[in-house]
Amino acid sequence: MVGTAEAAAPPAIVRNEKDGRFETEDKQAFLQYHLRDVTVLAVEGGQAKEKKKTAMDMVHTYVPRRKRGLGLAGHLCVAAFTHAQRNSMIVIPTCSYVSDTFLPRNPLWNSLVYKEERKSCDCLHSLLSLFRDNISPAFE
């Protein structure tokens, strides 16, 4: 029974700030990230304004072959997303594991994902509204 409990215990994940990584204690499995500033739209006082925010760009996840299938990549992602959430960061899921596997399996984390296209879509929506409300009546 002791062996079963140990096998079920989640691995210890540590943040290596110097190298920009979340990693297992043995440093063999890791999630590499870069911090960068991005511009987001924020509503303040009823108006949309551009605001700088720190984003954690998750660029690479690695788990050695002999440790694959144990859920380590998922644990690394949870540690990174939890850190981003606690520090009011947004996440850029550049790594294909994060974007194509982790997020579809864990959609609750999608609220932290930076959606660059949202800014341009909001602007396009505003332009279409302006056209519809102000210009198109002249053609009726």
Please identify every residue annotated as catalytic: 95
Task: Please tell me the total number of residues recorded for the chain in this structure.
Answer: 140
Buried b (16+ CB within 10 A) or exposed e, 80-113: bbebbeeeebbbbbebebbeeebbeeeeebeebb
Query: CA 40 to CA 90: how far, in whole Å?
Result: 10
Q: Dihedral sign, CA of 63, 83, 37, 113?
A: positive
Instruction: Give the DSSP letter of residue 92.
Output: E
